[in-house]
Amino acid sequence: MKLYERLRELRKERNESQVKVAEAVGITPRQYQRFEAGEQKPGFDNLCALAGHFGVSLDYLAGRTDRRT
């Protein structure tokens, strides 16, 4: 599974809007939309913030493993 697919899956599991996730991790809603659409890849700081927000490991977020933690 690709990063943008994981982001969408995790967000929907939590019933959060793209705007809410963006606000929670300190980025603009448009930037988060680009991440979730696969148009742009987040930098390391944003990856860490997203993983922290969703409570998953970086490897899970990046699709390198199916273990969340």
Q: How do residues 20-67 score in pLDDT, each as one tens digit?
A: 999 999 999 999 999 999 999 999 999 999 999 999 999 999 999 999
CATH topology of domain 3-61: 434 Repressor (Amino-terminal Domain) (1.10.260)
Q: How do residues 10-23 score in pLDDT, each as one tens digit?
A: 999 999 999 999 99
Considering the entire predicted model, what is its pTM?
A: 0.93
User: Beta-strand (E) ranges in the chain?
Assistant: none
52's tokens: 């922290």
Q: How many whole angstroms separate alpha carbon 5 and alpha carbon 26?
A: 20
Long-range contacts of 38-47 (CB under 8 A, 24+ apart): 38/2, 38/3, 38/4, 41/3, 42/3
